[in-house]
């Protein structure tokens, strides 16, 4: 299915290095490389992360003005005019706000619209949001969820038939790194072990539970270090807790990093301690890098790791430091098991590549355009 010449708008309200934003950037760049013309519509008062990430790809940016709350007809009109000016053929929105405004604007512009929901059920907390999304789904060609569990929630929360919701897992691309610089950066010795987590420092990402699990492991594994790549509000509290556990010299907060392949290449184990997820790109990247994985059974994680039955990763309940510590102990104590898990994860990752994700979205785009 060719996308050559297709003009696609990707709409998102946020502009930071989160999972939804990373997916938008990778999908737009992938489509652009395949011959489509892509415009990413993001906030004018954002960080500029998307523009930096897409620099050199040919994808163009349009920045929308400050959003009036709680209701902004001006934004809908601006989006409609922007789609018309760029001769957009199809609009693809991401997350709640743009799902609603994108559906409205695309209808005014007379073009097909779809929206993707990425993570938790934050939209369900208020009935007004559920109603707005229900209306948006009714005037959109398709609703997409990144996980089967989120698809089921959307069906119940928005009173939609299951057949109205497509599930398209996130996909990633990773260029392997032969020699990581991370271990030298952290001044690790050859016999040191390193567990790595990637995710912004917010409570939902579960890094507090990872640190508590580390506290349970520290004496048994005196050469174990834990590193977390990400930024957020928990930076200072995590550092304080590490000091209280006397682990501050072995617990490393790396900040926001773009060298994911380099980080993964330096890790002995990848850990995903999240309390809630859709399908995190960091998990897919760890699989592509062939790292042994310990992850919480949230969102699509269990499905991606095949429920642990094929030894593609060890699954633990969310919010359970003891279970997390036990799973890490199993991998750190059995290198052969860790190696088998890593190989299985790499094989499973073939179903979760950026190319596969792009192919699935192109098929959906084609279907919507043929029905228009």
Give the start-to-end residue ranges of the domains of the chain.
7-171+353-371, 182-352
pLDDT at 307: 59
Structure tokens given for 278: 């859709």
Of residues 7 and 128, more confidence is placed in: 7
pLDDT at 310: 59
* CATH fold for the domain made of 7-171+353-371: Rossmann fold (3.40.50)
Rounded-to-5 percentages of helix, strand, coil across the chain = 45, 20, 35
> What is the mean pLDDT of the segment spanning 149-172?
92
Structure tokens given for 194: 């390193």
Mean pLDDT (the chain, rounded): 93
- Helix, coil or strand: residue 50: helix
Confidence of residue 67 (pLDDT cuts 50, 70, 90): confident
C-alpha 89/C-alpha 106 separation (Å) is 9
Please state, as a whole number, how many other Cβ atoms lie within 10 Å of the Cβ of residue 296. Answer: 26
pLDDT at 1: 58
Please state, as a whole number, how many other Cβ atoms lie within 10 Å of the Cβ of residue 186. Answer: 15
> What is the mean pLDDT of the segment spanning 131-139?
94
Structure tokens given for 261: 């392949």
Using one digit for the tens of pLDDT, what is the confidence trace for 282-312?
A: 999 999 999 999 999 998 899 899 755 557 8
Using one digit for the tens of pLDDT, what is the confidence trace for 20-52?
A: 999 999 999 999 999 999 999 999 999 999 999
Cα 364 from chain centroid (whole Å) = 20
Confidence of residue 372 (pLDDT cuts 50, 70, 90): low
* CATH fold for the domain made of 182-352: Rossmann fold (3.40.50)
C-alpha 224/C-alpha 196 separation (Å) is 11
């Amino acid at each position: 299915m060719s996308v050559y010449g297709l003009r696609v708008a990707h709409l998102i309200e946020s502009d930071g290095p989160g999972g939804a934003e990373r997916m938008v950037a990778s999908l737009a760049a992938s489509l652009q490389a395949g011959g489509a013309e892509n415009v990413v519509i993001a906030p004018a008062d954002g960080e500029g992360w998307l523009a930096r990430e897409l620099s050199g790809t040919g994808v163009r940016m349009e920045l929308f003005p400050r959003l009036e709350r709680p209701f902004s007809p001006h934004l809908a009109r601006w989006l409609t005019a922007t789609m018309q000016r760029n001769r957009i053929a199809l609009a693809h929105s991401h997350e709640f706000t743009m799902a609603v405004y994108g559906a409205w604007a695309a209808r005014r512009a007379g073009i097909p619209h779809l929206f993707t929901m990425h993570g938790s059920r934050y939209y369900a907390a208020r009935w007004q949001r559920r109603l707005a999304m229900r209306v948006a789904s009714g005037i959109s060609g398709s609703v997409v969820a990144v996980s089967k569990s989120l698809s089921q929630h959307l069906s119940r929360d928005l009173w939609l038939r299951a057949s109205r919701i497509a599930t398209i897992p996130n996909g990633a691309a990773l260029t392997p790194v032969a020699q990581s610089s991370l271990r030298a950066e952290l001044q690790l010795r050859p016999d040191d072990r390193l567990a790595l987590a990637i995710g912004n420092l917010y409570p939902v990402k579960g890094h507090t539970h990872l640190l508590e699990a580390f506290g349970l492991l520290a004496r048994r594994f005196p050469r174990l270090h834990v590193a977390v790549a990400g930024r957020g509000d928990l930076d200072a509290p995590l550092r304080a807790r590490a000091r209280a556990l006397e682990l501050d010299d072995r617990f490393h907060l790396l900040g926001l990093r773009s060298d994911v392949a380099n980080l993964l290449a330096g890790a002995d184990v990848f850990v995903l301690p999240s309390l809630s997820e859709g399908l995190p790109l960091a998990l897919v990247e760890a699989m592509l890098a062939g790292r042994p994985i310990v992850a919480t059974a949230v969102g699509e994680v269990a499905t991606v790791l095949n429920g642990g039955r094929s030894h593609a990763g060890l699954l633990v309940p969310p919010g359970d430091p003891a279970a997390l510590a036990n799973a890490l102990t199993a991998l750190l104590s059995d290198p052969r098991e860790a190696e088998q898990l890593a190989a299985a994860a790499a094989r499973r990752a073939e179903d979760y590549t950026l190319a596969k994700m792009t192919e699935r979205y192109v098929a959906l785009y084609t279907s919507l355009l043929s029905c228009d």
